[in-house]
């Protein structure tokens, strides 16, 4: 049966269930109209009522969330972890460069600044 035929059959079943539930016909008559046993009719009726109840429940507004791709989620987490490590490594390199520059400046200052004892020796030589 094609999609249109399936929908037509489903509508017929729903109409019979509504007719039985509203008291227009008996469950036995509904089963006969659908060509099934009373037991099968009651199973279909139960499924229809459950589906209708589910369809009438409030839902969260908006578009439903997309299913999560586990591999994609794992890779995104790995990217974030690597970005954090890269940030720390960059900051460590900056601090190392600053310390190196400070040490060079300190050494240069030591060279250019003489101690009082050295100044005395230099004066005596003159």
Q: Evaluate whether 30 touches 19 at the Cβ level (below 8 Å).
A: yes
Q: What pLDDT was estimated at residue 114?
A: 57
Q: Which of 38-42, 62-66, 71-75, 116-120 has the lowest mean pLDDT?
A: 116-120
Alpha-helical (H) ranges within the chain are 3-21, 27-34, 38-56, 70-112, 116-125
Q: Give the percent of the chain with pLDDT over 90.
A: 57
Task: Work out the pLDDT band at 68, boundaries 50, 70, 90.
Answer: confident
CA distance 46 to 54: 12
Q: Give the percent of the chain with pLDDT over 70.
A: 87
Measured CA distances, 47 to 27, 38, 54 (Å): 15, 14, 11
Residue with tokens 């600044």: 113
Our CA dihedral for 16, 21, 23, 26, rounded to 10 degrees, sits at: 60
pLDDT tens, 2-35?
888 889 999 999 999 999 999 999 999 999 999 9
């Amino acid at each position: 049966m094609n999609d249109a035929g399936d929908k037509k059959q489903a509508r017929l079943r729903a109409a019979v269930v509504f007719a039985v539930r509203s008291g227009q016909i008996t469950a036995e008559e509904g089963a006969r109209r659908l060509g099934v046993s009373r037991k099968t009719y009651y199973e279909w009726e139960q499924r229809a009522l459950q589906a209708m109840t589910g369809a009438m429940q409030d839902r969260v507004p908006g578009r439903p969330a997309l299913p999560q791709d586990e591999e994609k989620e794992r890779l995104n987490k790995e990217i974030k972890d690597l970005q954090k490590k890269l940030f720390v490594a960059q900051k460590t390199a900056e601090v190392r460069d600053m310390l190196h520059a400070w040490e060079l400046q300190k050494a240069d200052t030591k060279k250019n600044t003489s101690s009082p004892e050295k100044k005395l020796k230099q004066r005596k030589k003159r």
